[in-house]
Amino acid sequence: MKLNYYPETDSLYIDLSERTSVESREISEGVVLDYDADGNLVGIDIDNAGSKVDIHKLTVSKLPASVETVRG
């Protein structure tokens, strides 16, 4: 899973899978869910993320994975 924030557009994209998105559905204003060919959720796109989520703090708890920070 990857979280990518794009400050120039204030959008947050959450990659849930490496699979390719073939369908998108807007579930509320500025929140789009992306699905693969099998109907599985593969990503979440949040426009105007700064006003919808707290982009300044990320808490990870009890995930069975390593956490990698990439600064760009």
Is the model's pLDDT at 64 over the cut of 90?
A: no
| Amino acid letter, residue 28 | S
User: pLDDT, tens digit, for every residue of 19-56?
Assistant: 999 999 999 999 999 999 999 999 999 999 999 999 88
pTM: 0.87
In this structure, how many other beta carbons lie within 10 angstroms of the beta carbon of residue 46?
20
The domain ranges of the chain are 2-52
Under the banding of pLDDT at 50, 70 and 90, the label for residue 71 is confident
Higher pLDDT, 57 or 36: 36
Q: How far apart are CA 15 and CA 43, in angstroms?
A: 5
- Phi and psi angles of residue 40, each rounded to the nearest 5 degrees, phi first: -85, 140
